[in-house]
Structure 1
Amino acid sequence: MASSQPLPQPLRDALDNLLGERFSTAQAVREHHGRDESLYDPVLPDAVAYAHSVEDISAILKLCHEHRVPVIPYGSGSSLEGHLLAVQGGISLDVSRMDQVLSFQPEDLSITVQPGITRKALNEYLRTSGLFFPIDPGADASIGGMCATRASGTNAVRYGTMRENVLGLNAVLADGRLLRSGSKAKKSSAGYDLARLFIGSEGTLGVISEVTLKLHPQPEAISAAVCSFDSVEGAVQTVIETIQLGIAVARAELVDRLAIQALNHYSKLTLQESPTLFLEFHGNAASVAEQAKTVQDLAASNDGMDFKWATQQEERNRLWSARHNALFAFLQLKPGCRALSTDVCVPLSKLADCVSATEQDLRQSYLPAPIFGHVGDGNFHVCLLLDPNNPAELAEAERLNHAIVHRALAAGGTCTGEHGVGLHKIDFLVEEHGQVAIDTMRAIKQALDPLNQMNPGKIFRQLG
């Protein structure tokens, strides 16, 4: 898929002079930057440039713009839809070394960071402040990458996604100009919301260089629970009733029977092997106890059983660590396999029907495929495990994926709740939004990146 055209020698010389050892064409470095966590085979960039500052980003983009060479922004390499693959060659622009906190305003519940800082490093910085940043995709992703893919995670049901937790950001455009958007204020009516334009842009409009984030107080009390059910339907119905009653549950995660088997084996747990909810409640001691008791009653009315509490931090950490490591656990179900992970999100009222119909589809397939997800906000995943070198298995996985996505779209949902479009969901995006919306997105892309330099081949099949 990658371009066979070598980098122009003047560009090589200019980047070498600018960056020195931070510019590399070494095979090992290119291989590291030519793969992500997707099903796709590696596609290597022609070279890798490491930025230490916004001035570096600007200078690199100006040079690449002058020589019409593609640029693929790179953070931690944890994306799932082929976002990082250099399908038209070019430069991988690595911002992982831009990992500093620029300013911290605890009284305003905000912090400004460089794009390469990871979510775990950020929360470690905040650990003694009484505040935390709640967005937690399973991987230790970079904040810039989380913005670019509009990430969320297990806490989204209470705290929202990156869209709700970014106050403002700066980005460097394809020609090297610096764009500032948003502010540290909680609201603004000042013109177009350009910050949100870059949230979910997947590196196709520019390189995010600075982000101001909304922070949240660490809850006074936290309680986690695990509850088993006879059926996936009972588990999902419990979550729906919890949300409809206005209970501010912080996390509501579904794992089906096969997923529990994998987690037990991989993380050395002893959970009952049946459809299960992982729940967490945040607040003060009294509110947490009241919320938990109400949800326990709802679970019992939906054939929930064996409600177990994890009130100690060590127990909670073990539980959520197992959940975040789910992908690695699932891969052990079929040694040597790769995973195609679906990512649909549907209105809460349609969730039980969609999950149940998906479960029926999977029972009729020979591929192992655990169901799991953030059902508190209608987002669920199927991890389709296959041998990518087996055409029959790849075709079966894509058949199931198409059925899951089309069902979600028919229910008024989306083809991607948090992973993004990348390479894999381009056609679904047209089906979801319609041609007028796609043409509008293309027009924005054309206005900001007329040479189609920024991460080409993602979101759209072609620019024109």
Structure 2
Amino acid sequence: MTLPGPAPRDPIPALRDLLGERLLTSEAVRAQHAENEAWYPAALPDAVARPASTEEVSRLLALCHAAGMPVVAQGARSSLEGHHLAIRGGIALDLTGMDRVLAVHAEDLDAVVQPGVTRETLNAHLRDTGLFFPIDPGANATLGGMAATRASGTTAVRYGTMREAVLALEVVQADGTVIRTGSRARKSATGYDLTHLFVGSEGTLGIITELTLRLFGQPEAQSAAICRFPSVAEAVATVIATIQMGLPIARIELVDAMMVRGFNLHADAGLPEEPHLFVEFHGSERGVAETAALFGEIAADHGGQSFRWSQKPEERRALWSMRHNAHHATRRLRPGARTVSTDVCVPISALAEAVAVAQEEGRARGLMQAIVGHVGDGNFHCGILVDPEDAGEMKRVKEFTDLLSDLALRLGGVVSGEHGIGMGKIGKMEAQHGPALATMRAMKEALDPKGILNPGKLLP
């Protein structure tokens, strides 16, 4: 694709007429929307737009399309690969003001929401219905952003990812055309699956302005546990045996000894600095008890010790709050450093090898890192503490992340199971997809011929 040249005209005056005070150009607001949770340099947009409706998004995109001005959708801005950064200027499209739950169809287990609704807000809205939305990436991300990045999280092993959770979308295309994809029906044989084309497209094909989401019944009982292991290998062996036995686990998370140290510093957790598994079971009272007992036997066979079980909601919340704050806890290991957070996903049978190599190669390069993982589906993360001004250290980090991606491909996996591509892994798309990358480029060219939607992301 040829990137757009100089804009034929400045759309800012027309955008100001459209949005009034909701088009912001102050340096302070632009700087706020230029930051990210990871290590990437700030990227200042020319303006921040805060639309209140699909119609406004449509008119905004029509104006920017005519002018060839980039538009980068933003939500909670919690992504870790620079997805939301306006690296070529243009408009930062802040969708957090489109934050209404439009409908809940309890009898059909679905809800219709605007993209600025966060997962926690939706679940608070559902509290009295007996239903919940299970996709839990940790951050209180917006649902539009979660769909755009195909988020998953700690519960994916049981409930799937945003790919499975999204039934239908309303999308504004690059030229301002509004389309609807999918429906509230649970199956379809009616042509191309456009819904799942946009899920995971990272804002490069269209702007999501409405989502229809699958809901689940709140489980009768929930039980969480934590146990420690002599080594990561034994913890991973426990995970593999648990999955292969078909135990209905809601969450199963690995944290290595360095990550436990981070938890102790950040949350005063008081845990032995050894690898741990955090697990959770959902179901009936009897089913949860039986599953927990079976898991305990499997873990004990692989050296698991110091089991701590709880069905108390406050204790379960404390456990998962600690896990969800892993990104911040990692920073406590090296105050003042930034975090390069990378993830890969491999077949379960290759998980132990992949984690072992990640630990060995990180140590060999003198890198301080913590490993956590949604290991029930073969996905794990390395949080590497870095000084972005240290060119030598950043070179070693790049070598390590490239090696990890190549390892995942060699083992039959993918270069990212959760974080996505954004800017950070754009160089691995050719190795991941081969000739299929040309098909992706053709889709981009067809839907965004001027290349205004999140340029510089996903596609090399």
Secondary structure at 1:286's aligned position in 2?
helix
Q: Partner residue of 1:58?
A: 58
Q: Partner residue of 2:440?
A: 441
Secondary structure at 1:317's aligned position in 2?
helix
Distance change (3 Å), C-alpha of 1:6 and 1:430: closer
Equivalence map 1:25-424=2 (5 Å)? 25-424=25-424
Contact map agreement 2:222 2:311 (CA 8 A) in 1: yes
Cα distance, 1:280 vs structure 2: 0.2
Q: Distance in 1 between matches of 2:149 and 2:198?
A: 9
Distance change (3 Å), C-alpha of 1:298 and 1:60: same
Q: Distance in 2 between matches of 1:404 and 1:174?
A: 35
Amino acid at match of 2:84: L
Q: Partner residue of 2:431?
A: 431
Large movers: runs of 4+ above 4 Å: 5-10
Amino acid at match of 1:281: F
Q: Distance in 1 between matches of 2:268 and 2:334?
A: 18
Cα distance, 1:6 vs structure 2: 9.2
Q: Distance in 2 between matches of 1:159 and 1:273?
A: 30
Amino acid at match of 2:216: H
Cα distance, 1:197 vs structure 2: 0.2
TM-score, reference length from structure 1? 0.97
Contact map agreement 2:166 2:214 (CA 8 A) in 1: yes
Secondary structure at 1:208's aligned position in 2?
strand
Cα distance, 1:415 vs structure 2: 0.5
Q: Distance in 1 between matches of 2:411 and 2:140?
A: 32
Secondary structure at 2:59's aligned position in 1?
helix
Cα distance, 1:87 vs structure 2: 1.8
Secondary structure at 1:369's aligned position in 2?
strand
1:266-311: CA deviations, max 9, x gaps?
A: 1121222110000000000110011111110000110111111122
Secondary structure at 2:79's aligned position in 1?
coil
Q: Distance in 1 between matches of 2:374 and 2:79?
A: 18
Secondary structure at 2:72's aligned position in 1?
strand
1:77-117: CA deviations, max 9, x gaps?
A: 11111111212211111110000011110000000000000
Cα distance, 1:365 vs structure 2: 3.1
Amino acid at match of 1:335: P
Question: Structure 1 stretch 86-95 or stretch 143-152: which is displaced more?
Answer: 86-95
Cα distance, 1:449 vs structure 2: 0.6
Secondary structure at 2:129's aligned position in 1?
coil
Amino acid at match of 1:20: G
Point out where structure 1 has 5 or more consecutive residues left out of the alignment.
none
Q: Distance in 2 between matches of 1:266 and 1:374?
A: 21
Q: Distance in 2 between matches of 1:111 and 1:346?
A: 32
TM-score, reference length from structure 2? 0.97
Contact map agreement 1:35 1:84 (CA 8 A) in 2: no
Cα distance, 1:363 vs structure 2: 2.8
1:125-161: CA deviations, max 9, x gaps?
A: 1111111001111211100000000000000000000
Point out where structure 2 has 5 or more consecutive residues left out of the alignment.
none
Contact map agreement 1:6 1:46 (CA 8 A) in 2: no
Q: Percent identity?
A: 52
Contact map agreement 2:6 2:68 (CA 8 A) in 1: no
Cα distance, 1:392 vs structure 2: 1.1
Contact map agreement 1:7 1:46 (CA 8 A) in 2: no
Q: In angstroms, what is the RMSD of aligned CA positions?
A: 1.3
Amino acid at match of 1:346: V
Cα distance, 1:362 vs structure 2: 2.4
Amino acid at match of 1:215: L
Cα distance, 1:364 vs structure 2: 2.3
